[in-house]
Amino acid sequence: MTNSQTVVLGQRQKVQPLNGQQETRWCFLVLVLILFCGGLGVANHQADEPEIKEHLSLSTQDRSLLLNLSSAITEIRFLQQMDNQWPSIQLLAEQQIPPFDQLFPLSHASSELDGAVGGGDYLWSTPEEGCYLGMSQQTELSSFLLLIPVTERSGDELPGKLYSRAEFYNQDEFYNQDELYNQANALDHADCHDLSQWQLQLTEF
């Protein structure tokens, strides 16, 4: 043994154990970094939540009617362009356009009722041009309002809109046809513009 070796032996030297501790720490840090970057990537690339459509909360019967009415808009426009006047409920029934073909006229003369016809589940009327109102006669069925804006030229069509409203209709309130007649008369122009009670379901094109 030399004197220099004796001097070295006098110093304290820390010897790390060969158990991979340091490597483990580095690996762990890199792992955390990768996970963090991955997490950021996932968080920033979430698919958009699809828009919740209002009509999904409607019953099967209401949805079926909504679908019929969405096609009826096209047929009403077609008839209006052909005849240069908005079709009445009676005409729509004669043309067998659903849902208007599922009705029969009330016992009162149709002119007194201003074209309102009903029977079965809905009371249909046209309070104004381009406005078709179907009042539900059953508690479990919604009422529907179809609004087609009146335009000057066929090339400038504005989209029609379909609204629905849940009804809590008490059948006991109406004892006879006269009561129904009064309800039909009560469907005035205000119903085509006061949309506060209505829920928009569909906009045409």
Partner 1 sequence: MSGCLSALLLLSLNVSAATGVEGIEKRDTPLKVGITLHPYYSYVANVIGDRAELVPLVDSGFNPHSYELQPADLKRLLSMDALVLNGIGHDEFATQAVEKLIHSQPELKQQLTLINANKDVPLLASANSRNAWNPHTFVSIDAAIRQVYTIAKSLGQLDPENAKYFQRNAIQYARKLRGLKNRYMRQLVATDLSSIRIASTHNAYGYFLQEFGIRIDTVIEPAHGVEPSASQLKKTIERIRSANVNLLFTELDMDNRYVSTIERATGIHLHHFSHMTYGDYDPDKVYREMEQNLKTLNKALKQASSDNHDAEQKG
Go through 138-156 and write b for each residue having 16 or more CB atoms within 10 A of its CB, e for each that does not. Answer: eeebbbbbbbbeeeeeeee
> Residue from 2, 4, 60, 111 that binds partner 1 (CB under 8 A)?
60
Report the C-alpha gap between 42 and 198 in whole angstroms: 40
Kindly state the smallest distance separating residue 121's Cβ from partner 1, in Å: 11
Would you count residue 10 as binding partner 1 (CB under 8 A)?
no
When asked if residue 165 is in the footprint of partner 1 (CB under 8 A), the reply is no
| 3-state DSSP percent of the chain in helix, strand and coil, to 5 | 40, 15, 45
Q: Residue 2 interacts with partner 1 (CB under 8 A)?
A: no
- Our finding on whether 70 is near partner 1 (CB under 8 A) is yes
CA distance 202 to 123: 21
Number of residues that bind partner 1 (CB under 8 A): 24
Q: Which of 61, 62, 52 is nearest to 164 (CA)?
A: 62
Of the listed pieces 16-24, 33-41, 84-92, 196-204, which binds partner 1 according to CB under 8 A?
A: 196-204
Quick one: which of 9, 18, 42, 56 contacts partner 1 (CB under 8 A)?
56
Among residues 201, 110, 191, which one has the least CA distance to residue 159? 201
Closest to partner 1 by CB, 14 vs 45, is: 45
Distance (Å) of CA 165 to CA 45, 107, 128, 149, 197: 38, 27, 19, 20, 7
Binding of partner 1 by 139 (CB under 8 A): no
Residues 25-44 close enough to bind partner 1 by CB under 8 A: none
Q: Which SS3 state, helix, strand or coil, does residue 158 take? A: coil
**Contact set with partner 1 (CB under 8 A):** 47, 49-50, 53, 55-56, 60-61, 63-64, 66-68, 70-71, 74-75, 78, 96, 98, 201-202, 204-205
